[in-house]
Amino acid sequence: MMNIHPITRTSDVAWGLCFYRNISRYLYVVVTFIVLTLLFPAPLRAEEDPDYSYSPSYSLGIGYNWASLDGSQRAIEYQSGIKSPVLRTGIEVYPLPHRFYLDFLTYEKDDLYLDTGYAYREILLSRLIIRELVHNLDHYRFPDSNPDEVKRKYDDRNRGETYQTDNRISDFFLRLKTPDYPVHLYTRYFRYDKEGEIQQRFLIGTFNDMTVTSQGRQIDFRTEELVIGSNGHFGPVEVEYSHGEKNFVPRGNTVLADLYPATSIRPGDVYPHNQIPETRTSSDYIKVHSSYTGRITASASFGSVRQSNQDSSVTRDMILGAGQLSYIPMAELSFFLRFSYRNTDENAPATTVLKGLSNELTYEVRPPLDVRRREVSLNIRARPLRGINLAGIYSVSKKDRSDTEEWLLANRDTTVNTLTLKVYGTLLKGVKFRTRYKYSDLRNPVYNTEPDLSHELSFYTSYSPFPGILTVLTYNLKKEMRDNLRFIDNATDIPLETGQRNNTTNNILGLIMLTPGEKTSVTLECGYYRNNLRQTLMYSTFSGDGSSTPGDAITENGVPYSDESTSYSIGVTHQINDRTDISAGMGQTHSKGKFRTSNPLSDDIASFSMLRITETTVSLRSSYAIINGFGIETMLGLRDYNDRIDDYNDGKFYQAVLVLTKRW
């Protein structure tokens, strides 16, 4: 008998050795570069920096954060909401040729920001950014189970549980340069850690006896990316090469296991499900471009990307290429011709094995698609009048798919024609504007979410009638249309073309900035967003005899879905005197959404899609300079989250921060 346990990867050391073994061959290049730089003959080095002096600056802040949460953590999505000390520091020192800075801030034990950098002449440049925060996740509740309902049941194994993850981001960059010659060696290391408990939802049961299930799941994800490259200017040409390694390693409960009842194609057993795979990516890029100072310039790039799924043995190889030719005959006219190419070759095992406690089942796997994408575009920019600029872009993109014999909805190629027009500049004194229109025509789109035709319009304008008043208005409109959606009739395995999908999105934002005096400013902002969708849906059914035999499909036309939000805010800042500053702000957002259908098969979906939420924020800040660089800063804040449909997520958060500062 086979035992199934949640797979837990804990061998950090072994994995780390494996990852860094892939890049160890590059370390000697870094060491050699540093040694040669330090030992470079003195006469060939750059001249010493002039004897300039820059006064260093230091700041330190120590305080306390009082916090109180009443209700759901939904009111503080990215805060822990606990009382904690506050520490803030800043350093800027420039003893040339050395340059160093550091910014550090923490308001909570799970909230940290660090930004620091060091540079020596032009030879060495480095920067490190670390960000840590907490993310409070929603607990999606199920409706109470109806004992009279036979086909669908609900099981929340962690009812009332709160879910939260700790997120940490580290980003390090280092660049080395040879003295007196533009050749660089650089590296970038990026790491993202996500650890905590999330809600996992899944389905257990047969077609006429399904249980929608939810349970907590411990996760410990780590994503690491390392890029090492070099670039240099060699006369009229610049060349760059880079190699990258990116790994995603999940730990914790990487796979779950549950008892599944018997069906006509599978015996009852405890089977694994919802596995989170480990993935690896390796890439190489070469980029070449000519000098950007001439009338005619050119650039080209070539890349190779290899990806693999360590659990399913699926691999993907991509070849990428791009090029650009620029011609600028005069200052008022320029042409840009661009070309891009991407070929994706994916391979997967012909079968996969499902291992239960007592059974082992083998299933055939459809061969993956191979996709080739080519795109060419022409960009023309002109300045016919002083202060008025025109730009036009026309592009043609074609996506070819192969190995589509077993993919009934993906057995065709897609061509996209796009025309973009832009006009921007200054109409009158104090009036600036930007407009953009984009038209796209898609032939043979594969996915039902892709339109046949789309129109996009964006407009921006700012107007300052006189000093002290600035108004800004932006508007974005997007309209998508699609005829003949494609579905699969499970009873016949024949593609069907029927129905429509129309989507319209509007977004408008207005801003007024007032400065009635040198010491006072007022900002008023109002925004509105609306998304309106109508589409045809097809519901698959089963014969009703308890087997997986499909029944007749049901089609419903014109199913509406909409969501919209309205937000407004006001902010005021005022300098009372040379020592005291004060600012206040208030904002509120109203959001609502709904999905309506006349088909009883989707009643539960419609109930889950209802949304009506009001979010309110209020803040008050002040700072007071005492003497000799000492000062006091305060902040009072309120956040209110009000779910008008279900008060389960309602919450209020109160915050007060006091910080004693010193600058010198």
Please list, in sequence order, all residues whose beta carbon lies within 8 angstroms of the beta carbon of residue 115, skipping any fewer than 6 positions away: 101, 102, 103, 104, 127, 128, 129
| DSSP 8-state assignment for residue 142 | P
**Spatial CA neighbour of 189 closest among 276, 130, 118:** 130
pLDDT band at residue 604 under the 50/70/90 scheme: low
Q: Average pLDDT, stretch 583-608?
A: 80
pLDDT of residue 151: 67
pLDDT of residue 654: 96
pLDDT of residue 601: 62
| Element (DSSP H or E) covering residue 603 | helix 603-608
pLDDT one-digit tens code per residue, 608-651: 678 899 999 999 999 999 999 999 999 999 999 999 888 888 99
Q: Who has greater pLDDT, 206 or 594?
A: 594
pLDDT of residue 44: 36
**Range ranked top by mean pLDDT from 32-36, 47-51, 584-588:** 584-588
Q: DSSP characters for 445-477?
A: -SSTTS-SEEEEEEEEEEE-SSTTEEEEEEEEE
User: Secondary structure of 511-545 in the HEC alphabet?
Assistant: EEEEEEECCEEEEEEEEEEEEEEEEEEEECCECCC
Q: Who has greater pLDDT, 140 or 586?
A: 586
Q: Who has greater pLDDT, 64 or 386?
A: 64
pLDDT band at residue 606 under the 50/70/90 scheme: low
pLDDT band at residue 148 under the 50/70/90 scheme: low
For the chain, how big is the Rg over CA atoms in Å?
30
Query: How high does pLDDT run on average in the chain?
Result: 88
CA 7 to chain centroid, in Å, comes to 28
pLDDT of residue 299: 95
Residue 20 has pLDDT above 60, yes or no: no
pLDDT band at residue 429 under the 50/70/90 scheme: confident
Q: Who has greater pLDDT, 240 or 146?
A: 240
pLDDT of residue 528: 98
pLDDT band at residue 410 under the 50/70/90 scheme: confident
pLDDT band at residue 2 under the 50/70/90 scheme: very low
pLDDT of residue 147: 66
pLDDT band at residue 43 under the 50/70/90 scheme: very low
- pTM here? 0.85
| Residue 156 token pair | 């929340």
Residue 118 has pLDDT above 80, yes or no: yes
Q: Average pLDDT, stretch 455-467?
A: 94
* Percentage of the chain lying above the pLDDT 90 cut: 68
pLDDT of residue 280: 98
How far apart are the C-alpha atoms of 538 and 531, rounded to whole Å?
22
Residue 507 has pLDDT above 50, yes or no: yes
pLDDT of residue 293: 72
**Range ranked top by mean pLDDT from 136-140, 289-293, 306-310:** 306-310
Residue 142 has pLDDT above 70, yes or no: yes
pLDDT of residue 4: 37
pLDDT one-digit tens code per residue, 257-282: 999 988 878 899 999 999 999 999 99
pLDDT of residue 534: 95
**Cβ-defined contacts of 437-445 (< 8 Å, 24+):** 440/416, 441/416, 441/417, 442/414, 442/415, 442/416, 443/414, 443/415, 443/416, 443/417, 444/412, 444/413, 444/414, 444/415, 445/414, 445/482
Asked whether the bond before 97 is cis by omega within 30 degrees of 0, the reply is yes
Residue 33 has pLDDT above 50, yes or no: no
Residue 569 has pLDDT above 80, yes or no: yes
| Residue 255 token pair | 């796979």
Q: Average pLDDT, stretch 93-99?
A: 92
- Strands (E) across 235-332 are located at 237-252, 256-260, 269-273, 279-290, 296-309, 315-330
Range of lowest pLDDT (272-286, 470-484, 592-606): 592-606
pLDDT one-digit tens code per residue, 119-134: 999 999 999 999 999 9
pLDDT of residue 425: 94
Residue 545 has pLDDT above 80, yes or no: no
pLDDT one-digit tens code per residue, 480-498: 999 989 988 877 778 888 9
Residue 101 has pLDDT above 80, yes or no: yes
Q: Average pLDDT, stretch 2-28?
A: 40
pLDDT one-digit tens code per residue, 174-194: 999 998 889 999 999 999 999
Please list, in sequence order, all residues whose beta carbon lies within 8 angstroms of the beta carbon of residue 365, skipping any fewer than 6 positions away: 348, 349, 350, 351, 352
Residue 23 has pLDDT above 70, yes or no: no
Residue 38 has pLDDT above 60, yes or no: no
Q: Average pLDDT, stretch 306-317?
A: 95
pLDDT one-digit tens code per residue, 46-94: 344 455 667 899 999 999 999 999 998 888 989 888 899 999 999 999 9
Residue 397 has pLDDT above 90, yes or no: yes
